[in-house]
Amino acid sequence: MSRSPKNIFEKHPRLSLILFVLIAFIVLDFLAGLIFIGQDINAFRAPHFYYHHTLLPNQKIQTTWDAEHYYTFITNSMGFRDSEKRKVPLTSDNKRILLIGDSHTEGVGVEFEDSFAGIMRDSLKQQNVELLNAAAVSYSPRLYYLKVKYLIEEGGMDFDKLIVCIDISDIQNELAYENFEPGHPTFIKQFAFKLNKFFNNNSFVYHSIRKLLKQREIDDFYKKAERTDENPKTDLYSGFFDEFHDSELLRNREFHNIGLWYLDREVFEKWGRQGLIKEKWHMAKLAELCREKFIGLTIVVYPWPVQIVAGDLESIQVQFWQRFSKEYKTGFVNLFPAFFEGAPEVNVVEKYYIPGDVHFNEKGHELVARKLLENL
């Protein structure tokens, strides 16, 4: 007489085998992930539904800008770069200044304490004034406006003064973000983002597939732009051009030499003027928002090395935003003269900028902090 199956595994042997293999695969996959998934140097960066991209809150990671020099990157509870993970309240009894800009203001390549935001924060703290840095790589006036609007109206954040550091490269970013439309995420999209992040950080198979797909996107960008100088910063920028589909412009070398747009009138008329028009539109909306909320607005401009070497003290960048500040009655700080003072042009570049880069080194950040504090 045959014995009847006693449990579910005996009743369904094939299903049991499949279940066992699946569990074993998941366990081995996550163990492999624990061992082989390295730290992503840009894990603190993420897309944002309303203002394109952001910094994740409460992160601490070692990152690099040039694949050679590493520095610590920390964000607070607001997703702002900071010296430590800390809870930042939405309101404060003290006077509060919000700083926003792009990679120069974020402080790529240097520790937060050595960035002009960090230096200013430490100095202003002694006067019971709080400074917060809402900047991120590759921001521009459209994202300045959207992020500040979101922080105030959706996030409930309160501050007294806004300092906007407008970079020379912002005119190109305005063109790149032209097709981006701010929206509001559904529960499903938020859940999908968190699920994607979890598996990317823990599943070796999922991580490997994502890495392969991302590398294809990066390779495609280099191919479209006809570039061979692969590095972490260009890899990062490739993601910011994901909605910019003008392959003819991406292949154009002049289009990527943004600093020269201001020096060559013909090139400026091709792209620069269009970018400035878009910048003015979004900065005007930001100025109006600040007036409505009784927030003081100050605009800051500074040079790239190419402007210093060319002796372009009265740059289009300076003239345009000086006129804008008068028209919209905002504060204006011109840092061009500070970088033109003293030593010959090339020595100034070596003194204040990261070698072979357009971003400030520690001395450059110190100079910017000192001049801004003087104007405050």
Residues 6+ apart with CB under 8 A from 268: 261, 262, 316
pLDDT of residue 221: 65
User: Is residue 156 exposed (0-12), middle (13-18) or buried (19+ Cβ within 10 Å)?
Assistant: exposed
Residue count of the chain, please give it: 376
- Average pLDDT of every residue of the chain: 87
Contact 299, 166 (CB under 8 A): yes
Report the pLDDT value the prediction gives residue 36, as an integer from 0 to 100.
78
Domain at 45-375: CATH code? 3.40.50.1110
pLDDT confidence band for 248 (50 / 70 / 90): low
User: Would you state the pLDDT for residue 343?
Assistant: 61
Mean pLDDT lowest among 12-16, 92-96, 166-170, 277-281: 12-16
The secondary structure of residue 304, as a DSSP letter, is: -
What are the tens digits of pLDDT across the range 152-192?
Answer: 999 999 999 999 999 999 998 998 888 888 988 777 877 88
- In this structure, the number of other CB atoms found within 10 A of the CB of residue 318 comes to 21
8 A C-beta contact, residue 63 and residue 136: no
Locate 14 and state its tokens.
């094939």
Write out pLDDT tens, residues 283-318.
999 999 999 999 999 999 999 999 998 999 999 999
Is residue 263 a contact partner of residue 312, using CB atoms and an 8 Å limit? Answer: yes
CA-nearest of 84, 300, 258, 295 to 171 is: 258
Pick the closest to residue 313 from 325, 324, 301 (CA basis): 301
For 29-86, what is each residue's pLDDT tens digit? 788 878 877 778 888 999 899 999 999 999 999 998 887 889 999 999 999 999 999 9
Asked whether 176 and 241 are in contact (CB, 8 A), the reply is: yes
d(CA 352, CA 104): 12
**Residues sharing a CB contact under 8 Å with residue 91, sequence separation 6 or more, in sequence order:** 157, 158
CA angle 154-133-103, nearest 5°?
A: 110
> What DSSP assignment string belongs to 221-283?
HHHHHT-----HHHHHHHHHTTT---HHHHT-HHHH-HHHHTT-HHHIIIIIHHHHHHHHHHH
Spatial separation of the C-alpha atoms in residues 288 and 297, rounded to whole Å: 10
Domain ranges of the chain: 1-36, 45-375
| Helix (H/G/I), strand (E/B), else coil: 324 | helix
Statement: the pTM of the whole predicted model exceeds 0.85: yes
Residue indicated by tokens 């033109």: 340
